Amino acid sequence: MRKIFILTSLTAALFLKAAAQEIPIENGWQFARGDSSQWASPAYNDLKWQHIEVNKPWEEQGYPNYDGFGWYRLHFMLPSSIKEKAFLKDSIRINLGIVDDNDEVYLNGKLIGEYGGMGGDIKTSKYGPRSYTIAANNPAILWDKENVLAVRIFDTGGAGGLYGDKHSISMLSLIDNVTINTDGDFYFEENEGISKTIYLSTRSNYVYKGKLNFKVTDPETNTDMREATTDVVFTAGKPFNYPFTIDKLPKRSYKLSYIFTEERSHDIMVKTESTPYVLTPYPGAKPRINGADVYGARPGNPFLYMIPATGRKPMSYSAAGLPDGLKLDSRTGIITGVVAQKGEYPVVFTVHNSAGTKTKKFTIKIGDVIGLTPALGWNSWNAFGLTVNDQKARVAAKTMTDKLAAHGWNYINIDDGWEAPQRTASGEIIPNQKFPDMKGLTGYVHSLGLKMGIYSSPGPRTCGGYLGSWQHEDQDAKTYGDWGIDYLKYDWCSYSEVTNPSPTLADYKKPYQVMRTSLDKIPRDIMFSFCQYGMGDVWKWGAEVGGNSWRSTGDIEDTWKSMSTIGFNQVADGPYAQPGHFNDPDMLVVGKVGWGDNQRNSRLSPDEQYTHISLWSLLSSPLLIGCDMGKLDRFTLGLLTNDEVIAIDQDALGKEARQAIKTDNYQVWIKDLEDGGKAVGVFNTSDKYQTITLQLKDNELGGYTKIRNVWEQKYIITSGTNYTTKVAPHGVVLVKLSK
């Protein structure tokens, strides 16, 4: 029988095969927390264990906040017919989906594979998709009999266990050793066509031959617009490169399919992806002042604000009405100093260049509240995980200055992984070898007019297993102040081990109150970002405890399921957003992400990425870029530099959008804006094109007759009392309505 393998762009490691050669192992798993060598044995009686599902982490199945060891066991039959029907009969592959973090796998009591360390050493921690291949004649396999698969897992923090999409056992086929690599960038040609090179590769010495069929499909009508077939040959070390160019098309996404048919086995592998398209217009030569209209700082503390402006360089900056104590560098637009007096100071910024002059009214609020609009910046986690280092942070800072700061981006936040294994003899926290000079790094970031963030946990250890601030809060706050830190992400993690096992509301608040008190002793404005995944309805008390933002969810991944589930569920917390205090549905997953050493393109399609940025802006979320900044491509840059979209996020009213309409296929979210306008996101949550009509009568949108497409920065001409728009699958149309 012919086998078909489909690799989708959403889950690059996902295989769908014809059922016959594949045994699904998705159901019937038993689970126990803890650790015992007996649990590997097929003879062990696991009947009293708990049932567990392998499509979600154990935290979501009755084991909240559990880190450490857990075992999964499954009894299953392995029919030899799968071997007989296979083209290659020599190996089987066991797909375990995602393992979080490390595992040892036993088949009928024999160790058949292991990955990552079991001792909690974070450096060897290997969260991710996992599969093992073993010889079909391995005596551990019991063909046509009951087998017992036992998976020992060690979770170092955060979500744990087996999860993900695909759990199966199959015969290894010729095509299993083939990769269709689509990780290269798309290039936008001058004539607005796009080009790219993909390649077919293998690590096997077998010489693969066959045909590659390439198709461009219009996702709206499902018609193929272009098709080409090429003979291909590749083997280990000699990939087959396939460059292609697609001429200019209307600005939307098209589906690309790469279909490889292997000549001898007739196995087919399909990979699809969607083309990127840039809606954000290039900024013009004339100066334009971007970013929020308001900035808050505390009296007596160092002040740092860079006027974000686009336009032809060089530009000169001036400001009228600056409060006493502040000075502006007219060449860089960086304002520094210290203001002693509380008060609201109306200021007028002026930016001038050879193409013109632009002014903007701005308010500096010197008072108790900072972070009046959500933070805009970069955080190392989604890109580099625990492999972040000084160099990567510097690249991020330099890139932010060159490409993003003109649009208001300003924080460089180092997440987990910077801490040394031991405190000094006097108990001070110090960085590890990856950060040889934290104060120097912070100085560099400040010299660019940017700000610097850091990460810790109220527990003894961070989620990544590094040192936390437990019982050293005052000392750590002081160290951060000495280094010049401007932002602290404070992540619950192992605090579970030192608090009540069933925390009360007071227990949830406590560690954040303690660190708040410590930070208040430091003469710096340090943004305080709570990270405890929404426990105890943190949105209800985050502001009172002094948080500038609080995570409202668990960790995001770069999948539609993760991003859309998080984004479209920000309902209960919405009303609590206010200037200085925002919900944080977690960091952005656009651009090249990877949580470690290897970065790849976000698995969100281009339309899903437009949805992500639009929705997060409507939600007044901190926007923290989570990609390798050294590898920003033009599409990602377009996503992150649309000043009208950013203005929605940064709106001074500080409200969060409401879910106004929710159907099975689409949603409408509406955000009130400071100028009386409304930002409206029309989201297509289905996987087909949809035509959606927005009523502008007899509802809160009545009388709003001016409609502006925010991504394209164009007014839309409509007549009558409704607005009808086509929305791409998983895509969005973001508009601003005014009267």
Strand pairing report for 487-491 and 527-531 = parallel
Q: Please, what sign has the CA dihedral across residues 261, 263, 267, 269? A: negative
Assess 415 for contact with ligand GLA (CB under 6 A).
yes
**Minimum CB distance to ligand GLA, residue 625 (Å):** 14
Q: How far is the CB of 491 from ligand GLA (least distance, A)?
A: 5
| 274, 462, 605, 611: which one binds ligand GLA (CB under 6 A) | 462
Q: Which stretch binds ligand GLA (CB under 6 A): 251-259, 345-353, 460-468, 600-608?
A: 460-468
649 binds ligand GLA (CB under 6 A): no
Among 101, 416, 573, 651, which residue sits at the site for ligand GLA (rule: CB under 6 A)? 416
CA-CA-CA-CA torsion sign (615, 619, 623, 625): negative
Judged by beta carbon, residue 176 or residue 491, the one nearer ligand GLA is 491
Helix axes 473-483, 438-447, angle to 10 degrees: 50
CA distance 614 to 631: 22
Is 99 one of the binding residues for ligand GLA (CB under 6 A)?
A: no
Least gap, CB of 239 to ligand GLA (angstroms): 35
531 makes contact with ligand GLA (CB under 6 A): yes
From the CB of 392, what's the least distance to ligand GLA, in Å? Answer: 15
H/E stretch holding 449: none
Region 156-215 residues binding ligand GLA, contact defined as CB under 6 A? 157-158
Residue nearest to ligand GLA (CB): 463
From candidates 294, 463, 538, 737, binder to ligand GLA by CB under 6 A: 463
- Stretch touching ligand GLA by CB under 6 A, among 326-334, 370-378, 461-469, 565-573: 461-469
3-state secondary structure of 634: helix
3-state secondary structure at position 82? helix
Q: Are 248 and 292 in contact (CB under 8 A)?
A: no
Number of Cβ atoms within 10 Å of the Cβ of 282: 9
464 contacts ligand GLA (rule: CB under 6 A): yes
Catalytic residue among 416, 555, 643, 649: 555
Q: Which of 6-34 are b and which e, b meaning 16 or more Cβ less than 10 Å from the residue's Cβ?
A: ebbbbbbbbbebeeebbbebeeebbbbee
Q: Based on the shown chain and the rule CB under 6 A, indicate whether residue 381 belongs to the binding site for ligand GLA.
A: yes
The H-or-E segment that residue 257 falls in is: strand 255-262
**Radius of gyration (C-alpha) of the chain in whole angstroms:** 27
Q: Please state, in angstroms and rounded to a whole number, the distance separating the CA atoms of residues 276 and 194.
A: 9
3-state secondary structure of 19: helix
Instruction: Give the rounded distance of the alpha carbon of 296 from its chain centre.
Output: 28
Rank residues 164 and 654 by Cβ distance to ligand GLA and give the closer one.
Answer: 164
Active-site annotation holds for 185: no
Determine which one of 491, 584, 586, 633 is catalytic: 491
Q: How far is the CB of 649 from ligand GLA (least distance, A)?
A: 19
Task: Name which of 92 and 414 has its Cβ closer to ligand GLA.
Answer: 414
In this complex, which beta carbon is closest to ligand GLA, that of residue 172 or of residue 531?
A: 531
The reply to whether 380 sits near ligand GLA by the rule CB under 6 A is: no
CB of 89 to ligand GLA, least distance (A): 43
Instruction: Select the span of 22-30, 93-101, 456-464, 704-712 touching ligand GLA (CB under 6 A).
Output: 456-464
Tokens of 70: 């857990």
* Selected range binding ligand GLA among 21-29, 228-236, 458-466, 467-475, rule: CB under 6 A: 458-466
Whole-angstrom distance, CA of residue 607 vs CA of residue 727: 10
The answer to whether 319 and 332 have CB atoms below 8 angstroms apart is no
Question: In whole angstroms, how close is the CB of 193 to ligand GLA at the nearest point?
Answer: 38
Query: Who contacts 430 (Cβ-Cβ below 8 Å, separation ≥6)?
Result: 419, 420, 423, 424
Give the number of other Cβ atoms within 10 Å of residue 382's Cβ: 29
How far apart CA 629 and CA 382 sit, in angstroms, is 11
Answer yes or no: 555 catalytic: yes
Question: Interface residues for ligand GLA in 242-301 (CB under 6 A)?
Answer: none
If one asks whether residue 654 binds ligand GLA (CB under 6 A), the answer comes out as no
**Closest distance of CB 700 from ligand GLA, Å:** 35
Size, binding site for ligand GLA by CB under 6 A:
11
Per-position DSSP letters for 682-714, written without gaps between them: EEE-SSS-EEEEEE-SSSTTTT--EEEETTTTE
Closest to ligand GLA by CB, 97 or 464: 464
Strands (E) across 540-688 are located at: 549-551, 582-584, 592-593, 600-601, 623-625, 658-662, 666-672, 678-684
Nearer to ligand GLA, 406 or 463 (CB): 463
Q: Is 557 an interacting residue with respect to ligand GLA (CB under 6 A)? A: no
**DSSP secondary structure code for residue 364 in this structure:** E
Q: How far is the CB of 567 from ligand GLA (least distance, A)?
A: 16
340 touches 299 (CB < 8 A): yes
Q: Shortest approach of ligand GLA to residue 153 CB, angstroms?
A: 16
Q: Which long-range contacts (CB under 8 A, 24 or more apart) does 208-211 make?
A: 208/174, 208/178, 208/232, 208/233, 208/234, 208/235, 208/262, 209/233, 209/262, 209/263, 209/264, 210/260, 210/261, 210/262, 210/263, 211/260, 211/261, 211/263
Choose between 466 and 669: whose C-beta lies nearer to ligand GLA: 466
Q: How far is 412 from 294, CA to CA, in rounded Å?
A: 20
Of the pair 416, 651, the CB lying nearest ligand GLA is at 416
* Ranges within 483-512 binding ligand GLA (CB under 6 A): 491
Q: Locate 640 and state its tokens.
A: 């992150």
Stretch that binds ligand GLA, among 12-20, 35-43, 459-467, 710-718 (CB under 6 A): 459-467
| Closer by beta carbon to ligand GLA, 125 or else 564 | 125
Q: Quick check: 555 binds ligand GLA (CB under 6 A)?
A: yes
**What's the min distance (Å) between Cβ of 14 and ligand GLA?**
24
Comparison of 180 and 375: residue with beta carbon closer to ligand GLA: 375
Name which of 131 and 583 has its Cβ closer to ligand GLA: 583
Q: Cite the active site residues.
A: 491, 555
Residues of the shown chain interacting with ligand GLA in the complex, contacts defined by CB under 6 A: 157-158, 381, 415-416, 462-464, 491, 531, 555
